[in-house]
Amino acid sequence: MSIEDLILRVWRDGAAERIVLQTGDRSEEDRVRRAAETVALEEPEGGAWPIDYRVLGADGRLWTVRVDRVTRPTCVAVAIAEMPMPPVVHVLWHGRVACGDVRLDRTPSRWPEGQRWMSLTEFAAGQAPEDRCEMCWSRAPALLERRSG
């Protein structure tokens, strides 16, 4: 297992992303849970609990982890679920997908299985596959306006 396989990206809505290194012979789910708990320990006192975190693993899997304070100062993950990613076609613009999904980095060959792409130019030409990413399709018209403006 390389060091890249142990790096997890953790954030909550409206907060900066944190990089967490989780080592050991734990399962992926346990490493995700521990990463969220590690970040939760740094939350200021008196905040609203529980807090939902997003955790992106090196393998591209995205998880939602709900963390609650059980006793101070310990934080415990009380719910964990991998966020599903059905196979769809995304609109790619300047090396990024229009939907902004964090699992889809600049290299489509490293995308999760079943994820495909088409260019913004192909979108503008009217190509519309049945299995399209609805978020990409809703954001692509604004990208076309920006490109032509």
pLDDT, one tens digit per residue, over 23-58 is: 767 788 898 999 999 999 988 877 788 999 999 988
Please count the CA atoms within 13 angstroms of the CA of 114 that sit on its side-chain side: 9
- 3-state SS class at 76: strand
pTM: 0.60
pLDDT digits (tens, 9 = 90+) for 74-122: 778 989 999 999 999 999 998 899 999 999 987 888 899 999 999 999 9
